[in-house]
């Protein structure tokens, strides 16, 4: 992997974690880009290289989750080690569950807790 790609992924992961933590603390409507960058340990310029603002950040992260889930569904029929339909379904369920578990904090903060946290009609 290219060093720059790894650096970008690390920065975006920091920003994502900072967004999740800040939403949990302040709610989306009350947080600012400065809150996110402070918590992520980056400067505002770095944030704006990747995102237009907090709404763009949230939109891109949601789109990534949706795209990943769609990709998992499309891969359902092509899991190479499956030997039967039941095996294929089991492997898909394991992959899907692992993905959801890995994204649980983001999914909870954006879906499971919308009413108390989002005041801007998201």
- Rounded-to-integer distance, Cα 66 and Cα 68, Å: 5
As assigned by CATH, the class of the 3-117 domain is mainly alpha
At 2 the pLDDT is 67
Q: What is the pLDDT of residues 24-58, one digit of tens each?
A: 999 999 999 999 999 999 999 999 999 999 999 99
Question: How far lies 38's CA from each of 3, 46, 103, 108, in Å?
Answer: 24, 12, 22, 23
What's this model's pTM, rounded to 2 decimal places?
0.79
At 93 the pLDDT is 86
At 69 the pLDDT is 87
Question: Which residues in the chain come in under a pLDDT of 70?
Answer: 1-2, 76-83, 112-122
At 113 the pLDDT is 53
Nearest of 70, 69, 75, 76 to residue 102 by alpha carbon: 69
At 115 the pLDDT is 40
Q: How much of the chain is in helix, strand and coil states, percent to nearest 5? A: 80, 0, 20
47 close to 33: Cβ distance less than 8 angstroms: yes
């Amino acid at each position: 992997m290219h060093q720059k790609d790894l650096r970008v992924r690390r920065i975006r992961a920091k920003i994502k974690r900072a967004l999740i933590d800040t939403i949990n603390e302040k709610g989306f409507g009350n947080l600012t880009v400065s809150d996110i960058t402070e918590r992520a340990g980056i400067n505002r310029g770095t944030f704006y290289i990747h995102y237009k603002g907090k709404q763009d950040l949230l939109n891109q992260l949601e789109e990534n989750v949706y795209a990943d889930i769609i990709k998992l569904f499309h891969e359902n029929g092509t899991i190479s080690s499956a030997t039967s339909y039941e095996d294929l379904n089991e492997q898909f369920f394991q992959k899907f569950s692992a993905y959801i578990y890995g994204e649980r904090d983001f999914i909870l903060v954006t879906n499971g807790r919308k009413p108390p946290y989002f005041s801007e009609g998201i």
